[in-house]
């Protein structure tokens, strides 16, 4: 049987197209297959993201719980104001003057007595009877009347800050600044302290434990500058005087080894701009504190009880 020639060509063309479709790559020409491919790719990306990224767990609090947390934080902050460098403190203030010049000093002090460092040259107290701040070279005070200053200090004149700093158990500590009373409140002076002594001072000791101070040499900007102190081994001051750019100036004092009593006073040039000269004795005291010599005025040294 013979088929028409046109029919034979159509049959061959169909077989050829079927052969090409079976050998070629899938074209993902259906929505189903396309969605399946996207899902597979997305799953890979999610797996990589979860492996590479550590996401914290977010704790969701109710408004009431959040308010309780905020109140607790406020209470903690409030409690912290009652302490300074490990000590419980109370706040105080002193107001003086009048409308023309009103002074206000705010400070903190220790409600429970704590002895200041006996080596510190100056100790600071709050006199609860006279309502004034008191400075002394001795720490032998009535603890019920004199409260040891400890914490921030600010002094204002007519509302403008003129001085501020910190106390540590009765001694100046950290940074102290003074300001001029101009519109800008210009900084006039700045000093750094370490529990009563200049921060950069060189301190030597009698003992290896670092408790018995022997000498305090003040340094500022690489030069010997400020008050110098030397102590007896029992803690009493032996010598005190001032250095200015490495030179001794003013009065230098030598003490007996008890109660901080003066023995000799020597005069050096008042400033570094004066011509240097050999220091000379201007005053001498006996062990009872009585003056037995004063240059060009008095000399009872031969009668003094040594």
What's the average pLDDT block by block, 10 residues per block, for the chain (306 residues)? 58 62 49 51 49 50 69 63 92 91 96 93 95 86 93 96 97 96 92 92 93 94 94 95 97 95 97 96 96 95 76
Q: Which of 232, 225, 233, 171 has its CA nearest to residue 197?
A: 171
Residue 133 C-alpha from the chain's centroid: 23
Query: CA-CA distance, 104 to 192, in Å (whole number)?
Result: 23
Give the three-state DSSP class for 94.
strand
Structure confidence at residue 302 (pLDDT): 87
Alpha helices (H) along the chain: 5-23, 31-52, 63-80
Nearest by Cα to 120 from 15, 32, 198, 28: 198
Domain ranges of the chain: 72-196, 200-306
pLDDT number for residue 246: 96
Confidence at residue 138, expressed as pLDDT on a 0 to 100 scale: 78
* The predicted structure's pLDDT at residue 22: 53
- Amino acid 139: pLDDT: 72
Edge-to-edge strand ranges of the sheet holding 280-285: 202-205, 213-217, 226-231, 237-244, 247-255, 262-267, 280-285, 291-294, 298-299
Of residues 130, 128, 136, the one with CA closest to residue 109? 128
Report d(CA 120, CA 138) in Å as an integer.
9
Give me 259's structure tokens.
Answer: 């109660």
Residue 51's pLDDT is 44
Cα–Cα distance between 124 and 31 in angstroms, integer?
87
Q: What is the pLDDT of residue 27?
A: 46
């Amino acid at each position: 049987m013979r088929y028409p020639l046109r029919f034979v060509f159509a049959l061959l063309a169909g077989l050829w197209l079927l052969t090409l479709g079976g050998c070629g790559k899938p074209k993902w020409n259906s929505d189903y297959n396309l969605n399946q491919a996207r899902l597979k790719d997305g799953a890979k990306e999610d797996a990589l993201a979860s492996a590479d990224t550590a996401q914290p767990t977010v704790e969701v609090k109710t408004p009431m719980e959040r308010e309780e947390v905020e109140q607790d934080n406020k209470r903690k902050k409030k409690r912290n104001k009652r302490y300074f460098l490990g000590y419980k403190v109370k706040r105080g203030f002193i107001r003086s003057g009048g409308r023309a010049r009103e002074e206000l000093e705010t400070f903190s002090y220790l409600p429970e007595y704590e002895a200041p460092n006996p080596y510190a040259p100056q100790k600071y107290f709050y006199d609860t009877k006279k309502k004034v701040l008191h400075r002394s070279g001795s720490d032998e005070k009535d603890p019920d009347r004199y409260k040891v200053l400890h914490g921030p200090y600010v002094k204002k004149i007519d509302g403008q800050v003129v001085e501020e700093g910190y106390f540590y158990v009765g001694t100046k500590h950290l940074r102290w600044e003074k300001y001029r009373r101009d519109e800008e409140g210009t900084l006039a002076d700045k000093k750094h302290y370490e529990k009563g002594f200049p921060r950069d001072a060189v301190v030597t000791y009698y003992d290896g434990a670092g408790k018995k101070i022997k000498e305090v040499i003040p340094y500022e900007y690489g030069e010997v500058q400020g008050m110098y102190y030397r102590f007896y081994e029992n803690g009493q001051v032996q010598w005190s005087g001032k250095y200015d750019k490495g030179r001794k100036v003013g009065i230098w004092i030598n003490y007996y080894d008890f109660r901080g009593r003066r023995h000799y006073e020597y005069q050096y040039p008042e400033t570094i701009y004066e011509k240097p000269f050999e220091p000379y004795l201007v005053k001498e005291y006996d062990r009872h504190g009585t003056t037995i010599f004063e240059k060009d005025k008095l000399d009872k040294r031969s009668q003094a009880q040594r």
